[in-house]
Every structure is written in structure tokens, then in C-alpha cells.
Structure 1
Amino acid sequence: MASSAKKKCRQYIDGYLQYGFIKNSTDPKQPFCLMCHQSLSNEAMKPSWLSDHMRRKHPDKVIKPIEYFQELKSALESRSTLISLFKKQTKINDGGLNASYKIAEIIAKTGSSHTSAEKIIKPAIEALITEIMNQDPSSIIKAIPSIRRRIDEMSDYIEDVLIQRLKTTNFSIQIDESTVVDNKALLIGYVRYFDNNCALQEDLFFVKLLETDTTGASIFSAVKTFFEEKDIPYTKNLVSCATDGVMAMVERHKGFISFLKKLCPDILAIHCVLHRHQLMAKNLSPILNQSMNTVIKTINKIKSNSKCDRLFRKFCVDTDEQYIRLLLYTDVRWLSKGNCLQRFVNLFNAIVVFLQTEGQSDLAIEIQAQKKNIHYLSWLFRKLNEVSLLLQGKMITLIDCNG
């Protein structure tokens, strides 16, 4: 009994390199991703799991030949050690100054607290220099000033450069309003434009706090005030605006777009592609909607009971299934419907057999009767999710995704 409960220890195979994975240098039992440098558990040492990781995390690398991953592997193995990296610093003060800006950039991109540099990064650098290089770290640590000041300097510089560019070129904006913690309403704007080299650029434009309501008039007032404060000729240079299609944005008389068109009558209003997908997903035919409800009912039947969930996991382990658990459907998450359907299809036969063994034959028969519809829904939402994931990045257009 004890031997049957013992977990399997999967071994790395050279063929896993085609999925972008090599052995973890610290633990050979774990696969290591060459693209995101993430280590997965030993249970993920399966071609299906590794391939799924690539499709979700690195969809643009799926079509890459194995030579591409061999080059990544060689580059990783030939990297210089941390000691040689520190020895290359010829000017400690200049190195500390440059490092402070790079550290500030990392902290700003991750959204971490400014104090994390003083509490974590600086002590870590001090420990590395002391223990590895056997040198006094005080001169380097002193050369790294306040991270918050560096972030503010970089932020102000980037904003000034962006504002100057928008004063002399046509641009498009994307506006979205969202409610965060403490019921605060934030208005976020992104901008796209062509620079002097005719290269398309995309940047975060502004983040404004809506102090009262989130009506079209309030949103328009916040955007208009920002343009006027920065002296940007938006009535002349603004050519298009993308929104999520809610009434506060597109309502005919009181929406944000209606106010904007009074000042910019030739502006092109665009409904966000991802929101269109969401609207389509909510309007299934009665037959497909019934099949979707059957899937949700089955998932809830298994997941809502802790004992049943544990039995299902054990059943999947015993039958060596690709996955051992189902995914719950959450309406507020765009990818949820496609992900839960895909997992359901992957475990379709296991679910049917499990329900039959647990005395749920009626539900098993109902699932089998709707098998074609369920597989079709899975395929449909998988395609929608692929487009949604490909659009989640900088400088990405719908044409790029179709290509």
C-alpha cells in the first residue's frame, strides 16, 4: 500500500529541449525553462506539461526550431560567473551609479516598494561582495543613492520625452477605467505613435484618480485637463481612441467618446478586441449554453466536495492522466472559460469513468451525449484565448496575431 502511494520521480530526457527546457543545475529532477528561467516541479516533467507551459508563457516560441533552444542553452552555460562580473567594474563609483539606475528600473517594473532596495537589495549586494570577492563593500554601497529619487528622475525624464513627441506627431490613445482596492477608481491611458524613424511606439500615457464618479463627463474632464496641462494639441494630433465599450465610454449623448467627438469630430472610435471576445462569449446559442452549463455543473459537483475532489485526484494519478484536477470557471476572468473547458476535455474519459464509479451515471450519460458540443466549445474558446494571450504584450496588433 505504501509503495503504490509513493510519488513517481520523472527523469529528464534530451528531447525536452524542443520545448525549451533543460535540467535545473541545482536540482536535475526539475525542468528549467530557457526563456523565463523558471523551474517547474518534477511532476511537470512530461511533454504535455512542458508544451503547455510554452504555449501559455511563450506562444511566440512555439514554432522555433530546436537549434534556437540549443543556442539559448549554450549562451546560458557560457555566461561568466558573478565573480568575473564584479571584477570587470573598473570605476566603482560609476558602477554604483549605473547600478542604482538599473536597480531602480527593476523595482519600478515589478511594482515593489521603494524601500526594498534598502531592506533587501543593498544588504544582498554587501553580502555578495564581502563573501565572494572578500572586499570592503562600503565604497560601492555608498555609490548607490536613494532608489526612490532615481525612479522619480527616470519617470520625469520619460514623461518629458513622451510629451515632446506627442506635441509634434499624430497619436492614438486607449482609455480604460478600473476600480482597485479601497474602491478607488483609476483612469489608465496608453498611447501609440510613430517616432522620427517611422517606428511604432507604445507607452503608458497617464494614470489619473477619479475622485467622485466614473461617468463619461468625469472621464472626459480628466483626460482634457491632462492634455491642457501638458500643452498637447490633442484636437489636432489625436486620431483614434480605443475603449472597452461600456456605456460611460460610448453612450451616444453622455459617453466619453461623445464629448471627445465634439472637439475632435474626425476621431476614430474603436471597440477593444478583447472586450468584443468577452461579449461574444456571453451570447452562446441555447444548445451550446446548455453544454457549457453541464460542464460547469460537473466541475462544481467534483470540486465542491473535498472528499470527492481528493478521490478524483487519486483516480487521475492511478490512471496516469495528464492532469490531476479540474479548473473552476470564473466569469470575471477572460481566460477562465477556455481554460476550464480545455482541462475538462483533456480529462473527459477520466471524468466519465469516475462519475460512473461514484454512482453519478445520469450525469456521465449527459456528458457523453454532449461530447461533440463540449469539444467544439473547447476548441472555440482555445482559439479566443490564443488571440487574447498574443495581444497581451507591448507593440502587438491584431494583424500580428493573425500572422
Structure 2
Amino acid sequence: MEMSELTALLTPEGLRLLDATPPVESAADVAREVTRLRAAGHSPDLVSAVVGQSRLRRRARAKFGDLAARMLFTRAGLEQSTRLSVSTLHARRFRDAGIASVADLGCGIGGDALGAAGLGLDVHAVEADEVTAALAAFNLAPFGETARVSNALADSIDLGPEVGVWLDPARRTAGRTETTRLSDPDEYSPTLSWAFEVAERRATGIKLGPGLDRDLIPVGAEAQWITVDGSTIELVLWSRELARPGIGRAAVVLTDGGAHELTAEHDAPDEDVSALGAFVHEPAGSVIRARLIGDVARSLQAGPIAPGIAYLTGDAALTSPFVSTFRVREVLPTDTKKIARALRERGIGTLEIKKRGVDVDPAVLRTRLRLQGPESATLLLTRAGGGRLAILADRV
């Protein structure tokens, strides 16, 4: 969104028009609404803003639920924002540590600030991009003076002595639409080294990508990886009062059923390799990243299917929130033509394909299998015993 579009939108007329516009999802919806609004005499900037926001609000429901219907977004801001269930989880950490005031440095559209303000914390949100800061101010406006927004650089803010810090360094190139990921932490904005300096002095939470090089994690920090609905979305490093005693590694799994957490002081030792049993368990990405697979394996009376492969197997009819569990039907030949023949014989037309440790493109394989039939199953492709393994299974 450009400033001219934002200026046109942030008027009583513009906001009323946005609220009255039906949901926009497809390209055909966009064309229809643009034509209708232009024919009604609205300016190009206002039409662009209204149609764009209507489309983004539709997408934002997955992260913000019903709240999305009164929020404003940029495309990049929505993609990079923290979903409300996760930001509330972060906010509880501050509240439970007795920290009543939080500086959200690099707030984006205000996703994490919303979670903090919603729990009654005093929030000072800071965003370098002028348009994004204006959107954050709009999104946080219902909280009044308890949620303030500044258009400034994160490292330019003078913080009070009792203020906790939430830092979400920009890990992509600047922009409100198409951006690219930065691989060098020294190119983050603010830099990771600056964030770590803040964390040494203040109670701080730093949101980072889940694939951060573990060698960069500071000694004494609590590293918490978070999986939501099957996707591992972030790593948070907690310092000082926000880091829980005796916990160095944590894996959180959020589902519709609630939040589940596995914690340990250090990486968990692995179990011995097990021969294929009646069940295969795939640990959540947060468990894998936190290197707590061994603890999960012991709770399931299982072991890894092969060294370095994050599939666990065993005969116990057990599962947990930290894994997806599959009941083994049979082992199939690994040749594609033979797999296709076996699936046709069993009438399997709907197939979930998962892989670990093998160079297979599931999309290409699916085309070659020419699936047909009323039945469904899961195909697990992996390594075991020095060779490939194709396991036909059902989700438990």
C-alpha cells in the first residue's frame, strides 16, 4: 500500500466503503469490485486501497479470526505478522514474569502488540516504515493510550527502566509487497548482534526464523520453537526474567485443542534405532528443531527408524500432541511403477505423500502414480537399513 492509498482510505468515506465491500478472494472478484467502484466515481487510489484491503482481510482470518474484519494490512506485513494465538502466548510470558510494560520494537502491523494489549499490558509499538506504522496505529486504536505507536527506528527509542522488550528483527528486504529473505543476521534490521545486546540488559523476547543457526543462540537464553497447525513458524529467544530457570530448550505445539509444551535443560539424547513396528510417528517441527526427539520417543516406547531420520517407530498404540501418528498397513516396493500398481489394486485415489531422507518430489511422484479409486492412505518414503523404504499407512 502506498501513502496516497492510505490517505484516501483513512477517511470516514473510505472506511465505510471498505466495510461495505463484499469479501474479495479471486482475480475475478478483484476485477468485479474495481469495475463497480470505479463506475461509482471513486478515485483510483481509494479503489485500489479498498479492494486490496478487502482481499487481505479475507486472508487474515486465518491469523486473526474475526478481528481481521476491523484491521488494515500490507501484504508483506500480513505474511510476516504473528497470529493472535501465538502473540497471546508471548504476552502471557511477560505478564507472568510481572512485566507490565512492553516495548514492541519492529512491530509491523501490530500482531504481537495486539496480543500484549489484549492481556492488559502497556505497549509502546515501534515501526520504521511510515505506512506500516500508520496501519499498526489503526489496528491498536481500540486500546487507546495503553497501546502507542511510534514511527521510528528500533534502536532510537529511549526505554524506561521497568520496560520489557519484544524484538522482531526484519529478516527480509524492505518492502510492502514482494520481499526476499535475508540469510546474514548482520543484515537484519535491527541486527541480531544489537538485539542480543538489548537482551543482556533487559528482559527480552526475540522472534526469529525457526531455522536459525543454533550456534548463534546465546548461552543462558531459553530457546523456544513454536509449531502451529503443523507448520513450525518461529523461534523465540527469551532472556533474563523471561527465561525460565532450568529450561534451555522448549517445543510448543499449538492446535485447535490448545497449547502443548515440551521442555528440557539441554538437547535430549536419542533412542536406539528400531526396526519398523506397527506405528510410525512424525515429530512436530518444533520438537525436531529443539532436539527433543529422544524424549518424545521414550514417551511413545519408540525409536528412530534410521540414524538421522526424524521418523519414530514402535509397536505401542500410543500417540501425543508432539507427533503425527500413522498405523502401518504394509511395506511396498520402492519402484514407482510397482507402487502405482499396488495403489490401484487397493483402490487408493487420495494419497498423502510424506518423505524424510530421500530425494523425491511428492508432486512429481503423485503425477506418475495416476491415482484413482475411493480409498485414502498415507505413503511414507524414507531410508532404513541402508536402503529406501515405502510404507503404506493410515493416520491415527
Question: Would you say same fold, with TM above 0.5?
Answer: no
Bigger radius of gyration, 1 or 2? 1
TM-score, length-scaled by structure 1: 0.30
